[in-house]
Chains A and B, each alone.
Chain A
Amino acid sequence: MEYAMKLDHLTKDFGSFKLDDVSFAIPGGTILGLIGENGAGKSTAIKCLLGVLHPTSGGVELLEGEGLAGVGYVPDECPFSDQLKVRQVGKFCAGLFPGWEDSLFAHYLQKFELPGDRKVKELSRGMKMKLSIAVALSHRPKLLVLDEATSGLDPVVRDEILDEFLAFIRDEDHAILISSHITSDLEKICDYVVYLHKGRVTISGAKDELLETYGRLSCSKADLARVDPGLIVGKREGDYGCQALINDHAAFQRAYPDLSLESPTLEDLMIFTTRGDSLSFEKESEQRKL
């Protein structure tokens, strides 16, 4: 299988935060979603991939033979100064990216309804993001790297942008790495998911397989008490019922045929894994008290 990019045991140590031994790859023709809470290390991983940060150890393989020339990068904030006009952005970007096509840029400006004579400061956040995407697509990249590109956008603009990504991925040579904490967006478009939690890969795999492997349990306190703790990733206990994320759907159904599981969402995977952490912490604290 050919990969558009590969992170191999990537580690970046800042002292106060460490991106720790992260490995994943994106097969051609697919979209990989990098999820995780704020500060989990998503942007750090992307910056290491793009050479903006120097990894402490580990390696990055990027589009054999093309390197950064084949990458279209969309950061979380529009990188073009407010004083610049949209048309000027296209003019200087032509000198930055090999393979730049003025006609393609003009096509995206028209498609995204971006007026060429307007200054960047006069654009809304959604329009600025569209401008960044237009620039990223106008040099015909093979890999799109999007760092929180849909954050802060209204659902209509987000949907429009997600459609653009799906159109891009129709070419089997293309691939997308998209990081976001808006998991509903990623659930719509991703083939693979990597969940970063406190700098480490906690869950990774094909999205559909993950959502089939895990299960979401809603039950009473008494029912939850009899479930093998080894099957529980994290749980939420309330006065009127409990919810838990189960790590092995099939094993759980064999052991507890009277309890039914629902399909989890990516958000469930994130929330319950984080809660699982606090659960372990609570257990450790209780043990220390005893």
Chain B
Amino acid sequence: MTGFLKRDYYLISGTLKFYVLFMAAFIILAVFTDFNSSFLSLYVVVFAMSSVMGLFSYDDMSRWTAYGAAAPAGRMAMVDARYLLTLLISVGISLFQMLISLLGGEAGDLPMAALYGGGFLLYAAVTLPVCYHFGGTKARTVMILIVAVMGALIGMGATTLQLSNGFGRVSLPSPFLLLPLAGIAALAISWRVSLGIMGRKEL
């Protein structure tokens, strides 16, 4: 499994420099404006989402899936590695949010970190089986629909909680701390579904 994990890391790290440059520009801008950690964290979440989806496109382009499935560890280890990477990215997102909100002197950093980390896990729990089923290219179209629905739901939730103004500066209610747990549970179900899809799939 480590081989699959390393490959995914190398592919993501290839675009990392580009994203880090963008982030540095935003941080410099933040010095001259009113600092809001959520903007940066949201950026990291979007980067993480597109990176995970991008891995499936890389797989398609180089016909990697069939090759990886013919390796001794096989297709199941390939799925395991991608889910482990997703989990690690989610932890990274939460830690990043906590760090920058601490640096920015914002209150309520823990629920906000839970929101971003858990939200990413929920997104990945939906995305990964879709990608395994449709492949990277087709899955993009399907995900546009899913993201639109998820966006509408999040928007409704934010309005209900009156978070739309000054998102990131308010203290989120403590139930948000449970979001990562919900995300992990969803990811576990998603992992089983993806294993089933890949087990049956003709590559």
A53 at the interface (CB under 8 A from B): yes
Give every chain B residue within 8 A of A85 (Cβ-Cβ): 10
Closest Cβ of chain A to B60, distance in Å, is 10
Partner of B69, one of A51, A71, A93: A51
Instruction: Give chain B's interface secondary structure class.
Output: helix
Q: Which of B180-203 contact A (CB under 8 A)?
A: 200, 202-203
Q: A79-B62, A83-B58, A84-B11 are in contact. Are A67 and B72 (CB under 8 A)?
A: yes
Interface segment among B1-9, B41-49, B138-146, B171-179: the answer is: B1-9
Q: A92-B7, A94-B3 are in contact. Are A81 and B64 (CB under 8 A)?
A: yes
* Closest residue on chain A to residue B1 by CB atoms: A95
A9 at the interface (CB under 8 A from B): no
Docked-complex contact B72 and A75, CB < 8 angstroms: no
Docked-complex contact A52 and B66, CB < 8 angstroms: yes
Docked-complex contact A75 and B11, CB < 8 angstroms: no
Give every chain B residue within 8 A of A82 (Cβ-Cβ): 61-62
Partner of A52, one of B3, B5, B62, B70: B70
Closest Cβ of chain B to A60, distance in Å, is 12
Closest Cβ of chain B to A61, distance in Å, is 16
Q: A92-B6, A95-B6, A96-B73 are in contact. Are A52 and B203 (CB under 8 A)?
A: yes
Docked-complex contact B63 and A75, CB < 8 angstroms: yes
B166 at the interface (CB under 8 A from A): no
Closest Cβ of chain B to A133, distance in Å, is 13
Docked-complex contact A96 and B74, CB < 8 angstroms: no
* Closest residue on chain B to residue A46 by CB atoms: B70
Q: A73-B67, A96-B73 are in contact. Are A54 and B11 (CB under 8 A)?
A: no
Q: List 20 A-B contacts (CB under 8 A).
A: A51-B74, A52-B66, A52-B203, A54-B202, A67-B72, A68-B70, A69-B72, A75-B66, A78-B62, A79-B68, A83-B14, A84-B14, A91-B10, A92-B4, A93-B3, A95-B3, A95-B6, A96-B68, A96-B73, A97-B72
Residues of B within 8 A of A (CB): 1-7, 10-11, 14, 58, 61-64, 66-74, 200, 202-203
Contacts A81-B64, A82-B62, A92-B4 given; 20 further ones with Cβ under 8 A?
Answer: A50-B69, A52-B202, A52-B203, A68-B70, A68-B72, A68-B74, A77-B63, A79-B66, A79-B68, A81-B61, A82-B61, A91-B6, A92-B3, A92-B6, A92-B7, A94-B3, A95-B2, A96-B3, A96-B68, A98-B72
Nearest 9 pairs of A and B residues by beta carbon: A95-B3, A96-B3, A79-B67, A95-B2, A92-B6, A50-B70, A69-B72, A92-B7, A68-B72
Residues of A within 8 A of B (CB): 47, 50-54, 67-69, 71, 73, 75, 77-85, 88, 91-98
